[in-house]
Amino acid sequence: MANTKSAKKATRKIEVRTAVNKARRSRMRTFIRNVEEAIAAGDQAKATLAFKAAEPEIMRAAQKGVVQDNTAARKVSRLAQAVRKLGA
């Protein structure tokens, strides 16, 4: 357990930051799931719309430090490729 006043404050800040990051990660995963469900259903129009909504959300998560930049880029790339493949 934290002993000093500053350590106690740091603990409180960590709890708040963890909650924020958890919400951001959950939101990102929801957007990704929407794209994947549209792809699985074979609906290209819905998949394209879902992807256009998901891409900025994924990149925002990377910018905020929730996921690493390369991880976000990989996710966007793979989703884009799957959506393109659906149209071909």
In tens, the pLDDT along 35-88 reads: 999 999 999 999 999 999 999 999 999 999 999 999 999 999 999 999 999 877
State the distance between the two ends of the chain, measured CA to CA, in whole angstroms: 58
Measured CA distances, 29 to 9, 11, 70 (Å): 30, 27, 16
pTM: 0.88
In tens, the pLDDT along 15-35 reads: 999 999 999 999 999 999 999
pLDDT of residue 63: 97
Per the domain annotation, does 83 fall within a domain?
yes
- Counting the structural domains of the chain, the total is 1
| Residues of the domain holding 78 | 45-88
Helices in the chain by DSSP H: which ranges? 5-41, 44-63, 69-87
pLDDT of residue 2: 77
